[in-house]
Chains A and B, each alone.
Chain A
Amino acid sequence: KQEVTQIPAALSVPEGENLVLNCSFTDSAIYNLQWFRQDPGKGLTSLLLIQSSQREQTSGRLNASLDKSSGRSTLYIAASQPGDSATYLCAVGSSNTGKLIFGQGTTLQVKP
């Protein structure tokens, strides 16, 4: 059974810092991995999708990496801004079941 864990649960950094959010999964037989952002009271916004054959994806100040063999993904945010404050969710697409398994998220606060 696939389990997805995100550490830390919460993170507070000063504006301008580079930071890394971590995601780990127990079953390496994944189809893809997605990172989402959720603002309070809002739906999820997809940030990056990494297919199982890929090692990383980049979008602006965001870079997501994938290491299937070790069951890990990281989301790197460069030069953080207060507007980056949100909950970041990692979701693994399972090859076996065809569904997304979500972690519990990391709540990020970027202080001005």
Chain B
Amino acid sequence: LAKTTQPISMDSYEGQEVNITCSHNNIATNDYITWYQQFPSQGPRFIIQGYKTKVTNEVASLFIPADRKSSTLSLPRVSLSDTAVYYCLVGGGTASKLTFGTGTRLQVTL
């Protein structure tokens, strides 16, 4: 399974754009990149998934360079409620297991 590396923590002010980068140097050809958000004492919540280039949904954008060895989750105009741990996971297939890395603890303040 591809190992991921993320910053342990990040701080941001409310209203700013936050970019969290994840490195996954040994990503396999059939692996997708998925980001999850987790609040304390809750299960992880799916944010966005991509394979290459750029993916955007109503809450975030995911940028993936051509070599796919890294990815960047972009959260536009964060609010206090975006304070959470964000996990980058790499895996493929409908039944494949996902291995969680350390995640990035994002703290948003006024």
**Do A and B come together as binding partners?**
no
